[in-house]
Structure 1
Amino acid sequence: MQGAKGKSYEGSKAMVEGDKFRREIQKRERYLEVILESVPDGVITTDSQHRVVEWNKGAEQIFGYTKEEARGRDLDELVAPGSIRDEAKEYTQRVLSGNRLPPFECIRFRKDGTPVEVIASGAPVNVEGKLEGVVAVYRDISEQRAAERALALSEERYRSLFERLPVGLFVCTPEGRFLEANPALLKILGCPDLETLKAVDASSFYCSKRDRGHWRSIIEGRSHAADVECRMIRMDGKEIWVRERSWAVRGREGELISCEGVVEDITSLKAAEEEKSMLEQRLIQAQKMEAIGTLAGGIAHNFNN
C-alpha cells in the first residue's frame, strides 16, 4: 500500500515538474516571439525548401505582405521576382548548402512591385546536424541611400558652382592656410594649382600690414566679417587690386573653424577709375584755361575800346 502511494506521489511530482517545464518553455518561446516582433529589421525563417515559416512585423513593413500572405510561399519568388530571381536563388543555394551569408546590399521588391534597397544576410538553421531551414534578415536602407544620393547631388552642384564662378572663392584655416580655392582664385593670384597655394600663407599676398589686419580681427573675434578693397601681390610679382569679403565660420561653442571669402580682381576697374579721374582733371584744367582765355579776351577788348 505504501509502495503504491509512493509511486503515485512520484508520478504527481513528475507531472507537476513536467507542467512547470512546459510553462517555462512556453514563456521563453513567447519571449523570443516578442523580441522577433520588436526588431525593426525583417526577420524571416524558412523550411529546408525555402518556404516561409515565420515573418515578423519588420518584414511586413519592408515588403508589404502580411504573415498570412507570406507563409508557405517561396521566399525568392516573393521578394525577388523577374530579372533578379537567379541572383537571389544563387544566394539561397549557398545558405541551403550550410554556408552563412555575410551582410550584402541588394535590391528586393515589395508587394506593390516597387524596389527596395536592403542589406541582407542569412544563415542555415541546423538542429542536431540536420538542416531544418534558413533564417534571413533584411534591413531597409532605401531612405538612407536616397539621402546619400541627394547629398552627393547637392555636393556635385555646389562643386560645379564653386568651380565655375568667375570670382575667387576660398576656405582657410584660422592660421591662414588655404584648404579650398576655386580656379578663379588661382588665376587671380597667379598660382598654378591648389597644392601650391596650400603651401602659402594667405597673408603673404597682401601688400600692406594694414590690409592683413582684417584677418587678425576676424580670427581674434573682433569682427565677424570684413569687406575691403586692397592691393595684393600675385605669385609672379605683379601687383593687383582686389575687392575681398571674408567671414568667420564658427562652431556651436563659438570656436573658430575656418575663414571663407570671395575675391574679385578689380585692377581693370581701378585703372578705369584712375583714367576717368585724370580725364576729369584734364577737363577741369581745360575749362579753367578756357575761362582764363575768355577773361583775357574780354579784358583786351575793353582796352582796345
Structure 2
Amino acid sequence: MQEPCSAPSSDPAVEQSLRLEIAQLRAELETLRQEKSDLEILLEMTTEHSDTVEAELQREAEETLRESEHRLAQFLEAVPVGVFVVDGGGRSYYANRMAQQILGYIPITQVATDQLSETYQVYQAGAERLYLTADLPIVRALTGESSTVDDMVLRQGDRTVPLEVWASPIYNEKGQVVYAIAAFQDITERKRAEDALRIAEANYRSIFENATEGIYQTTPDGQYLSANPAIARMYGYDSPAELMASVGDITQQVYVDPQERDRFRSLLTQHGEVKNFEYQVYRRDGTVMWLLESARSVRDGAGRVLYYEGMCIDITQRKQQEQSLQQRVQQLQIEIDEAKRQRQVAEITQTDYFRQIQQEAEQFKRRLAE
C-alpha cells in the first residue's frame, strides 16, 4: 500500500505578499465605493442646487422683465404722443393715456383692422370718405411696411382732429411680424399755422403781383432774383421773367451813372437800409427814367448779406414837373428882377435929385449945341 502524497509546502513570503495585495485591492475597492458614494451625494446636491439656481435665475429674469415692462409702460404713458399697438392678428393690444385722450375713449380690443376707420371715424383729410383700410399706417405695418402720413382726421361729433401718424412693424426672432405700433399726435395747431402761412403767402403774392410799386430782390453784385410785374413794366419788359433774363448786370445795364449804384451799396453796407434814394436808369428802349427807391439788406445768421430787397416808383413825371417848375421859377425871377429894376428906375426918375441932374444935362447939351 502506497503512502498518500503530502501537500506541497507553502512559501511564507509569497503568501504574505498575496495577502498584502488582497488587502490593498480591498482598500482600493473601498475607496472606490466611498468615492462613488461621495459622487452620488455631490450629484444629488448639484442637481438640487442647479434647480435652486435655475429657479432663482427664472425669478430674477421674471422680475427684470416686470421692471422693464413697468419702465416701458411709464415711458409710453409719459410720451406726449398717442401710442397704439395691435397684435399680429390686428387686434388692439395697447393704447397709452394720450392715445385714449386723442381717440376720445379706450380702444376696443375686438375691433378688426378692416373696421378701424369706421369704429374710430377716421377720414381722409379734405374728403368725405373713410380712410381706406389698406392705407392705414398700422395696417401697412402689419405687412412689414413703415410709413408716415399727415392726411388723416378723426371726427368726433362736431370736432375734427387732424393727425400725423407714424407706424412700424415689430418682428420676433423668426422675422415674423408679431405686433404693429403706431404713434400719432394732434396737429390742429400746426395745421392752423400752415393755413395761416398759406393765407399770408397768398396775400403777399397778391400784393407782390398786383402792386403798382416795383418790388424786387437782387444779389449784391446786381442780378435779379425776383421781380414783380410792376417793375418789369417800368423798364419796358412784358414780364418779370423777360426782365430777369435780359438784365444780368444792373450796374452796367440799368444805371445811367454806375457810381450811383456804388453809393447805393455803400449806404446799405453802412446802415442796412436805404430810404428815398433817387437815381436815373435806362429803360429797355434806351430812354431815361427817374426812380425813387427804398431797400434793405437781408442777412443770414452769420451776418453775411444774402440779397437786397426793395420797392421803387417811377418819379420821371414828378422830376419833369420839378424841372419845369424850376424853369418857371427862374423865368419868374428874371421877370421879377426886370420889374424890380424898372420900378427902381421909375422911382429914381421921380426924385428931385434926378430932375436936377436931368436939367443940368439939358443945359449942358444946349451949351454944346451953341
Could you state the TM-score of these two structures normalised by the residue count of structure 2?
A: 0.66
Q: Does 1:28 align with 2:76?
A: no
Q: Secondary structure at the match of 1:87?
A: coil
For 2:81, the aligned partner's letter is D
TM-superposition CA deviations, 1:222-242 (whole Å, max 9, x none) = 443334322221121001122
Aligned residues: 300
TM-superposition CA deviations, 1:148-167 (whole Å, max 9, x none) = 22222212211211222212
Residue among 137, 156, 163 paired with 1:118: 163
Q: Secondary structure at the match of 1:272?
A: helix
**Correspondence for 1:202:** 250
Structure 2 regions of 5+ residues with no counterpart? Answer: 1-39, 359-370
Contact 1:107-1:115 within 8 A present in 2 as well: no
Q: Using the alignment, how far apart are the partners of 1:162 and 1:259 within structure 2?
A: 16
Deviation at 1:190, TM superposition (A): 1.9
Judged with a 3 Å threshold, the aligned counterparts in structure 2 of structure 1 residues 167 and 124 are, in CA distance, closer, same or farther, namely closer
Contact 2:300-2:306 within 8 A present in 1 as well: yes
Contact 2:118-2:130 within 8 A present in 1 as well: no
After alignment, is 164-173 or 286-295 more displaced? 286-295
Residue among 314, 321, 330 paired with 1:265: 314
**Correspondence for 2:109:** 72
> What are the residue-to-residue correspondences of 1:278-289 with 2, within 5 Å?
278-289=327-338
TM-superposition CA deviations, 1:86-142 (whole Å, max 9, x none) = 435444695598464622233232656522222335466677899866533324333
> What are the residue-to-residue correspondences of 1:112-261 with 2, within 5 Å?
114-122=159-167, 134-198=180-244, 199-204=247-252, 205-218=254-267, 221-226=269-274, 227-261=276-310
Q: Secondary structure at the match of 2:238?
A: coil
For 2:233, the aligned partner's letter is K
**Correspondence for 1:104:** 149
Q: Using the alignment, how far apart are the partners of 1:152 and 1:95 within structure 2?
A: 31
Residue among 312, 323, 341 paired with 1:274: 323
After alignment, is 186-195 or 153-162 more displaced? 186-195
After alignment, is 103-112 or 53-62 more displaced? 103-112
Contact 1:79-1:108 within 8 A present in 2 as well: no
Judged with a 3 Å threshold, the aligned counterparts in structure 2 of structure 1 residues 133 and 281 are, in CA distance, closer, same or farther, namely closer
Contact 2:122-2:155 within 8 A present in 1 as well: no
After alignment, is 5-14 or 114-123 more displaced? 5-14
Contact 2:122-2:152 within 8 A present in 1 as well: no
Structure 1 regions of 5+ residues with no counterpart? Answer: none
Deviation at 1:173, TM superposition (A): 0.8
Question: Which of structures 1 and 2 has the larger relative contact order (alpha carbons within 8 angstroms, sep 6+)?
Answer: 1
Q: Secondary structure at the match of 1:70?
A: coil
Q: Secondary structure at the match of 1:58?
A: helix
Q: Using the alignment, how far apart are the partners of 1:288 and 1:131 within structure 2?
A: 104
Contact 1:62-1:110 within 8 A present in 2 as well: no
For 1:232, the aligned partner's letter is V
Could you state the TM-score of these two structures normalised by the residue count of structure 1?
A: 0.78
The percentage of aligned residue pairs carrying the same residue is 24
